[in-house]
């Protein structure tokens, strides 16, 4: 099977408040997206890398790939307004290939470990659909429409989602084909699409890591610097 890491980098980083999308901000002298690409470039089980980026920043990614000497980046695609548009761009790009797994990863999670990728690829080789998550250490409140507590779900069954999320090509393509026929389809992450439209497809959890953080706010940059020390 060909294992393709799909680096989802279509966001504009509005919550960060920066002049550049957050994936191009730097930690320890390298852009966040370069850190993310480098992790998958290094992993022996990853066949190639596909980056999905806003059309305004394709040239920036091309420059990073060229200067870093990445050999596995074979496709740089343009995403859309929603995360699902970026996933669909990658799905369309591999439509004519056989025996492909797509491993979707947020570009702004630059500290995913080789161990996590190992576990994801092992699960894929066993024919599983895979999500990465860690147990919730906080009590979670479910609220009603007036923002009062409606219930307190048992914490034992609550996990915090990370990425990668990984599927065989056939599964993720079928799920999105069904989603696009639904007039009420709303953008979701890829696990949500599979869960909603292929409810009989079990999505297995690979345990993540507290270090596999998502760079969302300015203070996360400082945390990221600490993780590289």
Residues in the chain: 229
Distance between CA atoms of residues 43 and 7, nearest Å: 14
Contact 167, 101 (CB under 8 A): yes
| pLDDT average, residue stretch 10-23 | 64
| pLDDT average, residue stretch 81-95 | 93
Q: At what angle do helices 190-197 and 83-93 cross, to 10 degrees?
A: 80
More confident residue, 14 or 159: 159
| pLDDT average, residue stretch 28-57 | 95
Residue 42's nearest CA partner among 129, 136, 110, 143 is 110
Could you tell me what percent of the chain has a pLDDT over 70? 90
Cα dist from 168 to 12, 20, 96, 121, 228, whole Å: 28, 33, 14, 11, 32
CA–centroid distance for 20 within its chain: 20
pLDDT of residue 15: 46
pLDDT of residue 20: 74
Tokens 């970026």 found at: 86
Residue 155 pLDDT greater than 80, yes or no: yes
pLDDT of residue 16: 46
What are 115's strand-pairing partners? Answer: none
Residue 36 pLDDT greater than 80, yes or no: yes
Distance between CA atoms of residues 21 and 181, nearest Å: 32
Q: What is the mean pLDDT of the chain?
A: 91
DSSP character at residue 159: E
Distance between CA atoms of residues 22 and 14, nearest Å: 8
Strand order from edge to edge, sheet including 73-78: 73-78, 48-53, 2-9, 100-106, 159-168, 129-135, 203-207
Distance between CA atoms of residues 175 and 173, nearest Å: 5
| pLDDT average, residue stretch 154-175 | 96
Residue 212 pLDDT greater than 60, yes or no: yes
pLDDT of residue 187: 81
* Sign of the CA dihedral with 114 first, then 115, 116, and 119 last: positive
Distance between CA atoms of residues 120 and 129, nearest Å: 9
More confident residue, 15 or 218: 218
Is residue 60 very low, low, confident or very high in pLDDT (cuts 50, 70, 90)?
very high
| pLDDT average, residue stretch 107-111 | 95
Q: Which domains does the chain have, with CATH numbers?
A: 2-227 (3.90.550.10)
pLDDT of residue 128: 97
| pLDDT average, residue stretch 102-130 | 97
Is residue 222 very low, low, confident or very high in pLDDT (cuts 50, 70, 90)?
low
Residue 57 pLDDT greater than 80, yes or no: yes
Run of H or E including 41: helix 32-42
Could you tell me what percent of the chain has a pLDDT over 90? 79
Q: Is 27 helix (H, G, I), strand (E, B) or coil?
A: strand
């Amino acid at each position: 099977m060909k294992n393709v890491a799909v680096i989802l980098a279509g966001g504009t980083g509005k919550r960060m408040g920066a002049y550049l999308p957050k994936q191009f901000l730097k930690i320890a002298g390298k852009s966040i997206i370069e850190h993310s690409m480098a992790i998958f470039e290094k992993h022996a089980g990853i066949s190639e890398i596909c980056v999905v980026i806003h059309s305004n920043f394709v040239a920036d990614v091309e420059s990073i790939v060229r200067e870093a000497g990445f050999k596995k980046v074979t496709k740089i695609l343009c995403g859309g307004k929603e995360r699902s548009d970026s996933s669909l761009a990658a799905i369309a790009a591999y439509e004519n290939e056989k025996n492909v797994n797509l491993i979707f990863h947020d570009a702004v999670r630059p500290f995913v470990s080789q161990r996590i990728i190992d576990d994801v690829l092992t699960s894929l080789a066993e024919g599983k659909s895979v999500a990465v998550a860690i147990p919730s250490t906080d009590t979670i409140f479910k609220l009603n429409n007036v923002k009062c507590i409606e219930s307190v779900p048992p914490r034992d069954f609550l996990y915090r989602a990370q990425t990668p999320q990984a599927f065989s090509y056939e599964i993720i393509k079928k799920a999105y084909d069904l989603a696009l026929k639904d007039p009420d389809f709303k953008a979701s992450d890829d696990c949500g699409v599979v869960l909603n439209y292929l409810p009989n497809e079990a999505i297995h959890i690979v345990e993540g890591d507290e270090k596999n953080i998502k760079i969302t706010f300015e203070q996360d940059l400082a945390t990221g610097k600490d993780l590289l020390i």
